[in-house]
Structure 1
Amino acid sequence: MQHPSALRRRVFVAGAAAAVAAPWARAQAWPAKPIRFLVPFAPGGTSEIVARSVAAELTKQLGQSVFVENKPGGAGVTAMQEAAKAPADGYTMILTHVGTLAVNPYMLKNQPYDVNRDFLPVTLLAKVPNVFVIHPDVPAKDFREFVAHVKQNPGKLNYGSAGNASAGHLAMEYLKLVTGMFITHIPYRGTGPQLTDLLAGRTQASSAGMPALGAHIRAGKLRAIAVGTAQRIPVLPEVPTVQEMGHKDFETSQWYGVHVPAGTPADVIKRLQEESYKALRSSAVTERFATDNAVGGGGPSADYAAFIAREQKIWSDIVKRAQIKAD
């Protein structure tokens, strides 16, 4: 007969081994059903292009459908609120960006969630250069002429964006702050809808990413006058940066990442981060991103969290100085 103390030791060792194995087993079992990928904007913009490119690869890798669900409205609050309330089981994730994470907390007085408490970061997916464009009917050939034209006609021109706190809204308000021009913001429910009016000449300017603007610029339907990055971008080598136009340290880009509801198991988050890294380095995604000058991410969750903290510090100051409001 086995001594009781020896039996207790065996039970303890077996229990400890099971505790260590449990997260591994759960991560291996996940996913056992389709995963919903919420996008807080309407179809047709950079956010959806990034989300769908990555979702397609994740579907192949995980053996379960990762389906994109567009849920625009409320400066991203509608989708974020739904994600915050979703079960923390790894089957709901949301595309997060500069607006929902770094601007809304300082622009909106009453959010029904806390972005730093109610969500957990998974990984940064991509950084996309902001491009400033105008309709060809605007009597300005370049950036300086456009700024001069707006200043000669204060309040008479309009710019569209994908909505309040969208990357385009923030970029244009930042530009207004440094140039001193006054142009009215018209928020839409996504990049697609706002581009429809811009291409028709119902609005005169915008800022968005190359994935949404590239074809229209190449077709001559829109005129690129500046980029928000520190250096010129390869696909638009003739278009200057805002810094080159005399606005030192001006830099703005769109960035997109993935968050999940707080409480999602750490091993599932790690698996999702690792699979995202793999997806971002697939030929399908790298080729698409290269076409649009997007820079892929995929790093550890802690790196994304640190990046968000830096962006929150920058944009909280810009929101205050530019008096960015929820129109």
Structure 2
Amino acid sequence: MQTRTFIKVAAGFACAAVIPFASFTAQAQTNFPDKPITLVVTVPPGGAADFAGRTMGEALSKQIGQPVLIENKAGASGTIATAYVAKAPADGYTLLQGAISTHGIGPHFYTKTSYDALKDFMSLGVIAEFPLVLAVNANLPVNNLQELIALAKQKDGKMSFASAGSGSAPHLTGELFQTEAGIKMLHVPYKGSAPAVVDVAGGQVDIMFDGFPSLMPHIKSGKLRAIAAVSPTRNALAPDLPTFTELGYPKMISSLWYMPMVPAKTPQAVVDRLNKALVEGLKGTDAQKRLEAGGAQMVYGTPAQTQAYIKSEYDRWGVVIKNAGISTSN
């Protein structure tokens, strides 16, 4: 599923939004915001999620004339931060840096949370996508995707792939790859992307799917070899690298994505105000350039359109999990 294509398809539903609480709406349009806003990020400082959150927060702050404070609430695959924002007042002053881990894949693994990831949040219409890339240890005797698949079939389950942890986007992308290519590999989960990349570069694990920013230093050093981009179009950081789609695997599309969200009962006028400020603060600005330099691809839409994208990701990864036979009990 291509995000931009889906946004276009979903556009027709945006007009159906109903603005509740008319009297409050007029007041909110006039007064909001009149104090600082907090953006809750689901990971510790550093990394793509925190970088995206801080850059978006800075852009939003410039547009609304109020500070946007970043609060890092890490742990339990983002469920701690998500639960915190779900219980916050629905007034637009507490935002969540939603992600594929909290709203796409995570709900299938964490089914006993105090919130409903799909029903209790509303997207603010901006997505920062960090497409994944398949890289292999440089000593692996393969130079392209066809050779890699052939070697995996020959080894029949003995080839290994690393991930940032069970249930992470790199893990599920590896599972999808096995299904699409008709191969078997051994999954080796790590506590985060950094140690996983180090071990693939060192030869302890054969391959890995991850974002280009994490892989690039080892690709440049010659310890890793990039094989294919897991995105609809070629990655701007490696324009010569073919995509899985080009190579005959159109379902191989995956990214780490992040989008600001608010509790679902937030007044429509506040949602629209935040959406407008985010788009104007990011689109075509230095903030967007910084995100793109870090490997992100920016997508802009209405809250309704990006909310539909969340549901499509939830459905898509649910199928991958089911087909791979992965246990999701918690």
Per the TM superposition, whether the score is higher than 0.5 is yes
Structure 2 Cα separation of the partners of residues 106 and 95 of structure 1: 19
Q: Which residue of 2 aligns with 1:23?
A: 28
TM-score (norm 1): 0.81
Q: Which amino acid aligns with 1:116?
A: L
- CA, structure 1 residues 65+192, in 2 after alignment: closer, same or farther (shift >3 Å)? farther
What is the TM-score of this pair, normalised by structure 2? 0.80
Structure 1 position 32 matched with structure 2 position 30: no
What amino acid does structure 2 have at the position aligned with 1:32?
A: K
Shift of 1:175: 0.8
State the one-letter code of the partner of 1:168. P
**C-alpha deviations, 1:116-156, integer Å up to 9, x for none?**
22222212322332211122233332223333333344454
Paired position in structure 1 for 2:231: 229
2:57 match: 55
Amino acid at match of 1:40: T
Of the structure 1 ranges 97-106 and 149-158, higher mean CA displacement relative to structure 2 is found in 149-158
- Amino acid paired to 1:53: T
Question: Which one has the largest radius of gyration?
Answer: 1
Q: Give 1:326 deviation, angstroms.
A: 4.6
The CA deviation at 1:168 is 1.8
Q: CA deviation at 1:19?
A: 5.7
The whole-number CA distance in structure 1 between the counterparts of 2:116 and 2:199 is 34
Question: Residue 190 and residue 123 in structure 1: after superposition, are their counterparts in 2 closer, same or farther (change >3 A)?
Answer: farther
Is 1:185 matched with 2:187? Answer: yes
Matched residue, 2:312: 310
Structure 2 residue 303 is matched with structure 1 residue 301? yes
Distance in 2, Cα, partners of 1:20 & 1:235: 43
Change (3 A) 1:65 1:213: farther
Matches within 5 A, 1:120-199: 120-199=122-201
Letter in 1 for 2:212: M
Structure 1 324/99 Cα, relative in aligned 2: closer, same or farther at 3 Å?
A: farther
Return the letter of the residue paired with 2:29: W
Letter matched to residue 27 of structure 2? A
Aligned equivalent of 1:278: 280
For the structure 1 residues 140 and 73, does the alpha-carbon distance in structure 2 shift closer, same or farther, using more than 3 Å as the test?
farther
Structure-1 separation of matches of 2:137 and 2:306: 36
Distance 1:49 1:154, change over 3 A: farther
Flag the 1:152–1:40 CA change in 2: closer, same or farther, 3 A.
Answer: farther
| CA–CA distance in structure 2, aligned partners of residues 69 and 185 of structure 1 | 33
- Whole-Å separation in 2 of the counterparts to 1:71 and 1:189: 17
CA distance change for structure 1 residues 223 and 96 in 2, over 3 Å: closer, same or farther?
Answer: same
For the 8 Å contact 2:165–2:192, the answer to whether it is kept is: yes
The verdict on how the C-alpha distance between 1:290 and 1:120 changes in structure 2, with shifts beyond 3 A counting, is closer
Change (3 A) 1:196 1:85: farther
Shift of 1:282: 5.0
Distance in 1 between the 2:202 and 2:252 partners?
30
Name 1:3's counterpart in structure 2. none
Q: What amino acid does structure 1 have at the position aligned with 2:288?
A: T
The whole-number CA distance in structure 1 between the counterparts of 2:250 and 2:258 is 25
| Inter-partner Cα distance in structure 1 for 2:68 and 2:184 | 42
Looking at structure 2, the residues matched to 193 and 87 of structure 1 have their Cα atoms a distance apart, in angstroms, of 38
Q: Which amino acid aligns with 1:312?
A: Y
Q: CA deviation at 1:51?
A: 1.7
Match of 2:222 among 196, 220, 223: 220
Partner SS state of residue 129, structure 1: strand
Q: Structure 1 268/215 Cα, relative in aligned 2: closer, same or farther at 3 Å?
A: farther
Of 94, 105, 108, the residue aligned with 1:106 is: 108
Q: Which residue of 2 aligns with 1:4?
A: none
Q: How many residues align?
A: 308
Superposed CA RMSD = 2.9
Which one-letter code corresponds to 1:229 in the other structure?
S
Q: Aligned equivalents of 2:250 and 2:62: distance in 1?
A: 44
- Check whether the contact 2:29–2:270 (CA below 8 A) recurs between aligned residues: no
Q: CA deviation at 1:188?
A: 3.7
Three-state SS of the structure 2 residue aligned to 1:243 is coil
Unaligned runs of 5+ in 2: 1-21
Q: How far has the Cα of 1:224 moved from its partner? A: 0.8
Q: Percent identity?
A: 33
Question: Which residue is equivalent to 1:79?
Answer: 81
Query: Which is further off, 115-124 or 65-74?
Result: 65-74
Aligned equivalents of 1:89 and 1:155: distance in 2?
51
Query: Separation in 1 of the partners of 2:212 and 2:247?
Result: 20
Q: Is 1:41–1:190's contact at 8 Å kept on the other side of the alignment?
A: no
Distance 2:71 2:196 in 1: 20
| AA partner of residue 271 (structure 1) | R
